[in-house]
Chain A
Amino acid sequence: GFGSLMQDVLWCFSQVKGTIDVGVTEADVISTVEFNHTGELLATGDKGGRVVIFQREQESKNQPHRRGEYNVYSTFQSHEPEFDYLKSLEIEEKINKIRWLPQQNAAYFLLSTNDKTVKLWKVSERDKRPEGYNLKDEDGRLRDPSMITMLRVPVLRPMDLMVEATPRRVFANAHTYHINSISVNSDYETYMSADDLRINLWNFEITNQSFNIVDIKPANMEELTEVITAAEFHPHHCNTFVYSSSKGTIRLCDMRTSALCDRHAKFFEEPEDPSNRSFFSEIISSISDVKFSHSGRFIMTRDYLTVKVWDLNMENRPIETYQVHDYLRSKLCSLYENDCIFDKFECVWNGSDSVIMTGSYNNFFRMFDRNTKRDVTLEASRENSKPRAILKPRKVCVGGKRRKDEISVDSLDFSKKILHTAWHPSENIIAVAATNNLYIFQDKVN
């Protein structure tokens, strides 16, 4: 069950969404995956600017093995391609991030963002409609008032469930550079958006103003040495947030100390042995994702080869380091040439903060149990897609004799990257985006 040790959890295939295409259409590539706070909804965004929301079906006693499958609930076009003629800048419609707001009424709210514009979407259900208007008939055509002899009171009649998504707010023109993160504050009134050089604070109600809270743009761009790569609010303390950099550092800021948080309250950096430095050192140390634990006591960072867990009370080094795919260290030259070295992998915590997960290549993804220190490599593939089929652990062979079910480093498919994954907030259900397919895995039901 939930929070189990690695040896007790067997992961099974549950569902896969998307088509098996020989050539993948660029627009279908999934670019973000996110469960809402209850895990009832699962949202995906893609390169074509579309959002698809899945809803978990109610569990039925008739089919105990189908532990609440996720079905399509709503889909809409969130962003469209734009061209900024003033700057000769092509703005992609790709959804970089989706973040849910906690549910406060019957409707669901989420933030979705591309490189330049954040939007607040309201997703609501309509299952009744008024019938019996006086001035128009059921088709909506206006009735001639002089022909009306009786008045009637319109009544609400049930109709087929309709799920509507409407854009409630558009937060535009606040970012010169490309937005990489959005994060909802625990006050539920504000959120932040971060680009390469700046972080802005917004109020959900106000779209024509935002406060700049971090600005690392140097006066002379020739002096630029690092950029912001990710940012997130603390889960409970609404004054605290962190942001990571391309140099492998994390800064924690307190908005109470000053309006502009250019001076950090804490600075997390692991000391580097200068004799180990190579051309690749800085590139592979660039942090691609930073996530607070649910408890708020730890942060997790992902760089090219590792996942690290940091204790907020210890700035000089991480408390845990996990090797994701260290065998790639001897492939850095070709990974630099094919640009894979710049791939931005995300990382996630499970609900109890006991297990962390991140993706790799060849549609592999890795889980690390922080308590037992055991890890496992699993694969998202159509071959393992029989209902409730248990996923078999995979292993990469590093030189020497390859065992029968191992795969050698040179056989890995670097075009099959698992960059985006999500973990249900309280159960062992995970969503894994494999290019244009979304896999859902669950732990074994006894």
Chain B
Amino acid sequence: QDSQEKETVAPERAEEAKLKAKYPNLGQKPGGSDFLMKRLQKGQKYFDSGDYNMAKAKMKNKQLPSAGPDKNLVTGDHIPTPQDLPQRKSSLVTSKLAG
């Protein structure tokens, strides 16, 4: 049982090392409240017209930064733009399961 557990731990630790190598600034608390905060804030769509216009002016010829892989950024440099927001559904269609 003991040696078996050591074998199953090794892959997890190796994976952890891989992750820390990619994202050295990853939170100290393993699986801590950053994930939970992100979960609780699901659906939050803030729009600040001042930020939006400033970002547009600053990034005239550049691409707006998209949300990066760093999971610790709950809010970030990504300013939501009208193009980013999902389109509201205009009509509601019958499910294809009922077809």
Contact = CB atoms under 8 A, between A and B. Distances in A.
Contacts of A436: 96
Given A329-B8, A329-B11, A227 B26 contact: no
Given A46-B95, A50-B95, A75-B95, A90 B43 contact: yes
B30 A19 contact: no
Nearest to B35: A283
Contacts of A286: 31
B5 A276 contact: yes
Interface of B: 5, 8-9, 11-16, 18-20, 22, 26, 30-33, 35-37, 39-40, 42-47, 69, 71, 88-89, 92-99
Given A77-B92, A225-B36, 15 more contacts: A30-B97, A46-B97, A49-B92, A50-B95, A75-B95, A80-B92, A81-B88, A88-B47, A90-B45, A178-B39, A221-B37, A275-B9, A278-B12, A326-B8, A336-B19
Contacts of A92: 43
A342 B11 CA distance: 19
A48 B36 CA distance: 26
A333 B18 contact: yes
Contact of B31 (A30, A89, A279, A330): A279
11 contacts: A75-B94, A90-B43, A178-B40, A196-B39, A224-B40, A246-B36, A277-B30, A278-B12, A279-B19, A279-B20, A332-B16
Contacts of A283: 31, 35
Q: Which 10 A-B pairs have the closest CB atoms?
A: A282-B31, A330-B11, A332-B15, A75-B98, A333-B18, A333-B15, A283-B31, A50-B95, A278-B16, A52-B97
A90 B46 CA distance: 10
A70 to B, nearest CB: 11
Interface residues of A, number: 57
A246 B37 CA distance: 12
Contacts of B13: 278
A12 B95 CA distance: 26
A326 B11 CA distance: 11
Nearest to A49: B92
Interface string A432-444: 0000101000000
Contact of A91 (B31, B43, B69): B43
Contacts, number: 133
Contacts of A30: 97
A278 B33 contact: no
Contacts of A87: 44
Interface in A183-230: 196-197, 221-222, 224-227
A225 B29 CA distance: 10
A271 to B, nearest CB: 13
Contacts of B71: 336
B40 A18 contact: no
A246 B33 CA distance: 11
A348 B43 CA distance: 29
Contacts of A275: 9
Contacts of B89: 27, 48, 81
A221 B42 CA distance: 16
Contacts of B95: 28, 44, 46, 48, 50, 52, 75
A414 B21 CA distance: 24
Contacts of B92: 48-50, 77, 80
Contacts of B69: 337
A248 B55 CA distance: 42
A164 B19 CA distance: 53
Given A81-B89, A178-B42, A283-B35, A278 B30 contact: yes
Contacts of B15: 278, 280, 329-333
Contacts of B8: 326, 329
Contacts of A50: 92, 94-95
A92 B43 CA distance: 8
B12 A329 contact: yes
A273 interface: yes
